[in-house]
Amino acid sequence: MTAITKESLADRIIRLENAKALLGGLSMQEEYQLDAYRLLLERLPLEPVGYLMRTKYGAVVYSMSPTVPDMEMIGPCYGERT
């Protein structure tokens, strides 16, 4: 099964929008696909951009990796990657 990512959905949306502009319209199926892709893109959860970790001494630090030796993950931090 192919993984659906925000990037792949955005790419499909752009392709359909470009085809619509170039051809002056889309088939009914393509219009439904475009609407479905837009809805799905809005509802995909944000991806973790980092993680809060606790050191063995109790300090809380930020990490880009969910696994760091000698640290416990507290939880993910969500947001848009820039």
Contact assessment for residue 38 and residue 69, using Cβ atoms and an 8 Å cutoff: no
Q: What is the pLDDT of residues 56-75, one digit of tens each?
A: 999 999 999 888 999 999 98
Confidence band of 17 (pLDDT split at 50, 70, 90): very high
Confidence band of 81 (pLDDT split at 50, 70, 90): low
Between residues 57 and 44, the one the model is more confident about:
57
Q: What is the pLDDT of residue 1?
A: 41
Domain residues of the chain, as ranges?
6-43, 48-78
7, 17, 18, 66, 73 from 14: Cα distances, Å: 11, 5, 6, 32, 37
Rounded to two decimals, the pTM is 0.56
- What is the spatial distance between Cα 79 and Cα 82, in angstroms, rounded to a whole number? 9
47: pLDDT strictly greater than 80: no
